[in-house]
Chain A
Amino acid sequence: MKKQSIIYSFLLWTANFFLLDAIRAQLFQWISPSFEALTGMSLFGRSEVIQLLVVALVAVFISIIIILIICYWKLSKQFSEQISYWIALLSSVVSFGLVARIAMTMVIRRDDYSEITEARGLGVLQFLLVYMKYNTGRFSSVFLKGFYSVFEPIHYIHFWLVATFLLTFAGYVLLIRALLYKSTDSSNIR
């Protein structure tokens, strides 16, 4: 490691440290819940030394991120493109994982009860016809809900929530490709 790099890293850390110390109250508001979950004590109640150590650690973390970004700029074009792709993919997968985890833990409530009960009693087509005649015009929704009469909904009802996220994401990917890449294809690149 070059001598300049060590000096640069140290200066970067020092700048980060003083900056974070200046906004310590705001910073602790953000990180205190995580700290409390880990140690069982609020960060605001800890001694000055511990608080300064936490600020120093956060400064180290931010310095590492800045250094990584600088290193990333020094990588070859192809390699940095690959890293960007993987970061975007990983972010999408993690977001999907979080949504799926929430969705799969949701319980049925309110109208779910009546829709499941009525679909079970009427069957898909009868359910669709009755709802279209007396309750609503939303035929796609009602048709999908009609399957509660064929397959036990508790096993897959959460899937709709996951599918909604996936389809929204896919819709935006298609729209962005259609609206932006079309102009690139037609040799409109600056």
Chain B
Amino acid sequence: MSAALMLTSLTYFISPKIWEVFFWSSGALVYGLGIACQLFVFGLFLLTRNMVLKNWQKAVIYLCAIVAGGFSELNNISIIIMAVSAILFLRCSQSHTRIALLSVVLSASISLMMPGNYHIAQSPINGEEIRLDVLATLSKGLFPALGSAFSLLIEYALSKYEFFLIAMFIFFVAGSVVAIEPFSARTLTLIIATLIVASWMSLMVNVLVEYIPTRVLSIPLAWLVIAVSLFAFQLGLSIRSTVNFKIQLTVFCLVSVAAVWMWGIFYRENIQTIDRISAQWAERDQALSALTSDQRKGMVTTCGIEVLGSPTPDITSDPLFEANIVAASYYQLEQVIAFEMCP
């Protein structure tokens, strides 16, 4: 439980855009929940790989596999790589695990091949004349894209190096006080290689279409932090020291406390801003919802609210800005504009 809490916390804090990936409904349903479902299904597959299950239990696992394949493209690519690796190397598993792994590959592949992806890739970005053409981009060269994806991954991993160091230190200490057999070198290499390749390849779609919002890096960084933690843990296990049971417990208590401490600092730093934004939004929502149908015609002037993690307010002074258009549509206004921030 301590290790799971620490890994969960690291997954959150290593994200370059925590507010967009984990604390924004639109983003969390695409990226955050994608990471969560991916972790959950692989946990489920591995835990039940040697169990004999009832039919309904198998059905639930297959359903989870299909759902997990339907999130962001980065999840799709990384889940395919992880599942193919598992199919190739978990040969002694029960048939339901193999079917579930195949389901996840199929589901993620279908998600990638949906016409919506092709259509959006061919569309102009933010009304500009630049059109993304996946086929043309692919023909330009896959190898430069591989290099760019790798450089991008390294750049962002280095920008969050402190969390990798925390993961290495904590899981090395945890490994050094636990008394279980380490993985064989082959198994460890395989798992870590799969995680690194999944991190790297997951960026390919964004690199190829040359649209790389910072939030997408959360997914490869999550797999990298797991790889680093696992490696440090196995390194710790290889020390083979005879450690008092109480020391083991103390280390795990400290890991739990460290995780809750990180959340405490994060909470204290942000809660006042979050509460203020919430109060401002509620007041503005009430005012805009109360407008009569006549007042909704023409240009409605309101106030902007800070968006956490973004320098731009949620409604700007440009009525044709995308955020203004969607807010106007939500409140059934012709146009909405904001010149100043809400008090």
Contact = CB atoms under 8 A, between A and B. Distances in A.
Interface string A93-108: 0110011011101111
Contact of B257 (A80, A87, A160): A87
Interface stretch (B148-156, B162-170, B248-256): B248-256
A190 B32 CA distance: 38
Given A87-B256, A173-B43, A175-B39, A183 B249 contact: no
A102 to B, nearest CB: 6
B327 interface: yes
B1 A175 contact: no
Interface stretch (B52-60, B68-76, B196-204): B68-76
A138 B71 contact: yes
A163 to B, nearest CB: 7
B114 A168 contact: no
B251 to A, nearest CB: 10
Interface stretch (A3-11, A13-21, A54-62, A129-137): A129-137
Contact of A73 (B3, B24, B250): B250
Given A163-B33, A167-B40, A88 B116 contact: no
Interface residues of A, number: 78
Nearest to B269: A33
A132 B112 CA distance: 11
* 10 interchain residue pairs of minimum CB distance: A174-B43, A171-B39, A140-B70, A137-B114, A178-B46, A188-B181, A167-B36, A91-B256, A172-B4, A171-B40
Interface of A: 33, 69, 72-73, 77, 80-81, 83-85, 87-92, 94-95, 98-99, 101-103, 105-117, 131-141, 143-145, 153, 157-158, 160-161, 163-165, 167-180, 182-184, 188-190
Given A178-B47, A183-B180, 12 more contacts: A88-B253, A98-B263, A107-B281, A107-B305, A108-B25, A109-B307, A161-B32, A171-B36, A172-B7, A174-B46, A176-B3, A178-B49
Interface of B: 1-5, 7-9, 11-12, 22-30, 32-44, 46-47, 49, 67-73, 76, 110-117, 119-120, 179-181, 183, 230, 240, 244-246, 249-250, 252-253, 256-257, 259-260, 263-264, 266-268, 270-271, 274-275, 277-278, 281-282, 305, 307, 314, 322-323, 326-327, 329-330
24 contacts: A84-B250, A84-B253, A87-B257, A88-B1, A90-B256, A94-B260, A94-B263, A105-B271, A107-B277, A110-B322, A113-B323, A134-B119, A137-B116, A141-B71, A160-B29, A161-B24, A163-B36, A165-B8, A167-B36, A168-B11, A171-B37, A175-B43, A188-B181, A190-B181
